[in-house]
Homo-oligomer: A and B are copies of this chain.
Amino acid sequence: MPNTGKTESVRSRPPEARPLDAFDRRILGELAADAALSYADLGSRVGLSAPAVHERVKRLRTTGRIRGTVALLDGPSTGKPFLAFVHVDSTGWGKTQELLDLAELPEVEEIHSVAGDTCMLLKVRCQSSRALEGLLARLYAMPSVKATRSYVVLSTYLERPPQAGMTETLETEWAAGEADDTRP
């Protein structure tokens, strides 16, 4: 059966453009807390049948909303009790490739380019302060690295992956006593 170009152009809008509805948000919230839930349980929590949530979860995966399903390891009890954030000052913007190569080390969990008084921000978790020192030595061995500032974590009060919920009042509440809302 031949399909008209007109119909096709309407129907084949990119799937990732479709916005998340309330069902999707609740599914994401549940799975971000516990991905070991059965589809039957998940369905009863959000008010859908098992095949229906299965279909939605599959789409959330293929469209990239869900990046993966992983086991969260506990740093201290798996041999990496030392956590630190390292700010890196480097010369030039194009020379950051060697910094990105640090991604091969399992101790390096995050590499961000940030706006502020530093260029790059690393989150590293390793087995000892000596290992942290070794990582800093690797940094300083790079010609482009000018300086670093390390923030060693003393206590972690909260640490979790991205959450599904959003605080709507964050965008409006604070401005109530300060100025009128200038948005349209």
A binding-site residues for B, Cβ under 8 Å: 16, 20, 28, 31-36, 63-75, 77-80, 83, 85, 87, 100, 103, 105-116, 118, 121, 125-128, 130-131, 133-135, 137-138, 149-167, 169-175
Contact = CB atoms under 8 A, between A and B. Distances in A.
A126 to B, nearest CB: 6
Q: Give the number of copies in the complex.
A: 2
**Most chain B beta-carbon contacts within 10 A, residue among A74, A162, A166:** A162
A170 to B, nearest CB: 4
A26 to B, nearest CB: 13
A149 B37 CA distance: 39
Which 7 A-B pairs have CB atoms at the shortest separation, nearest pair first?
A106-B165, A137-B174, A31-B71, A106-B163, A134-B170, A111-B158, A116-B151
